């Protein structure tokens, strides 16, 4: 039907169908962007659907039709954010310490994303992850750590799951600190902290002699 | 007047005054306890003053009279919690690695307290700390790290403020992780994680040969 052999009317239908689909996709994207800004700022309880709808130039009715209730919308934003965050970092067996630097950079570039994940944890939102998705990410990272251990690059002392959690803890130290001085725009300070986190990871993983 | 030399009426006034004061203090404690439970569960935006008042058997009017608005009450709870948390840990220059174990234990014993601090950070609540209090705690910890460095127990490479932030990051790794498996009641797993965090800190601070 769509191979060019159809009638003009059929082709017109197809073009109109495509246009409608694109607009729906665009609307979804705009609602998601508005929702991300609102949720990152106010959390699930504090967010207001009418502000999101207004910001996205959509009616509340269309928003509900596309995303369900507020918690469902929150869930979809945090899932998209988690997917994007995991997609932006890669644990390589021969540069495990550098992975902490990747985490450090990633949350600096996406402050709203890590806020979403923190909100989700505090609001005890059950993340209904797409089947196997988070397991996939986590298992891939743990697998890289096991490979690094097998190659003698990471001390065998560590349980891969615990080591992974500590590497994230190190990379997120400043973002998750309540100390106001942890938040800075001073490039020299930021560079020093990044180097510190990577050096700390290097010392942790170094195989004992 | 209160030295026993006053009239019976004056003594009666004093006793009544004391009783009223004690009851007021008790009421304050009950409201604070109810507020802690409510805020730790729902955060600032999600908490409801009428639930807190009901739980504390107080009228909303008395609650407002004692604590001001919801944000002011939140502020007082998180300040009390932060004070209690800092009071429960002590950074000793000759056991810097053990300090991470203290942090690990402290948040396990007070899950609501660390949730309050996390909520405050996400809700961007400006903590109006009593004059010098937080500076006192933080400066004391940094001072202990400087002393440990002067005594050759901690590598001079580290900036004390950055090292302190990373030690907290390590100790809080599991509590602040979004991974559901980070939350466990398995005593063996908990003991292993605690030992891991302390060993990681030991490796970080060890002076380079």
pLDDT number for residue B1 = 37
Under 8 Å between Cβ of B173 and B197:
yes
d(CA B46, CA B131): 29
Predicted local distance difference test score (pLDDT) of residue B84: 87
Quickly state the pLDDT bin for B6 (edges 50, 70, 90): very low
**Are B98 and B147 within 8 A, CB to CB?**
no
| A162–chain B nearest CA distance, Å | 7
Q: Kindly report which listed range (A18-22, A33-37, A121-125, B101-105) carries the lowest average pLDDT score.
A: A18-22
Residue of A40, A119, A156, A169 to mutate for B, most B C-beta atoms under 10 A = A169
Contact B44, B31 (CB under 8 A): no
pLDDT at B4: 41
Higher pLDDT, B10 or A181: A181
Between CA B115 and CA B110 the distance in angstroms is 9
- Position A84 scores a pLDDT of 87
pLDDT at residue A19 above 70? no
Of A1 and A182, which is predicted with more confidence?
A182
- What pLDDT band is residue A5 in, cutting at 50, 70 and 90? very low
First-to-final CA distance of chain B: 70
Q: What is the mean pLDDT of residues A105-109?
A: 94
- In whole angstroms, give the CA distance from residue B144 to residue B164: 10
Task: Return the number of CB contacts < 8 Å for A and B.
Answer: 116
- pTM, two decimals, is 0.84
Report pLDDT digits (tens) over A43-61: 998 999 999 999 999 999 9
Token output for B198: 């302390």
Please report the pLDDT score of residue B202 as a whole number. 98
Does the beta carbon of B10 lie under 8 angstroms from any beta carbon of chain A?
no
Closest CA–CA distance from residue A106 to any residue of chain B (Å): 16
């Amino acid at each position: 039907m769509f191979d060019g052999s159809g009638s003009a009317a059929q082709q017109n239908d197809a073009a109109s169908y495509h246009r409608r689909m694109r607009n729906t996709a665009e609307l979804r994207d705009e609602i998601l962007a508005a929702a991300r800004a609102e949720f990152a700022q106010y959390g699930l309880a504090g967010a207001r659907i009418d502000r999101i709808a207004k910001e996205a130039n959509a009616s509340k009715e269309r928003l509900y039709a596309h995303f369900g209730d507020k918690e469902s919308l929150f869930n979809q934003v945090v899932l998209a954010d988690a997917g994007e965050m995991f997609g932006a970092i890669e644990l390589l067996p021969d540069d495990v310490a550098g992975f902490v630097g990747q985490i450090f950079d990633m949350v600096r570039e996406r402050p709203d994303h890590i806020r979403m994940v923190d909100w989700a944890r505090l609001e005890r939102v059950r993340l209904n992850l797409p089947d196997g998705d988070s397991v996939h990410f986590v298992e891939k990272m743990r697998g890289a750590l096991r490979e690094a251990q097998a190659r003698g690059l990471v001390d065998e002392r560590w349980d891969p799951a615990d080591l992974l959690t500590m590497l994230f803890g190190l990379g997120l130290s400043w973002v998750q600190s309540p100390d106001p001085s942890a938040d800075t725009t001073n490039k020299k300070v930021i560079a020093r902290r990044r180097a510190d986190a990577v050096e700390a990871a290097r010392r942790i993983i170094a195989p004992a002699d």
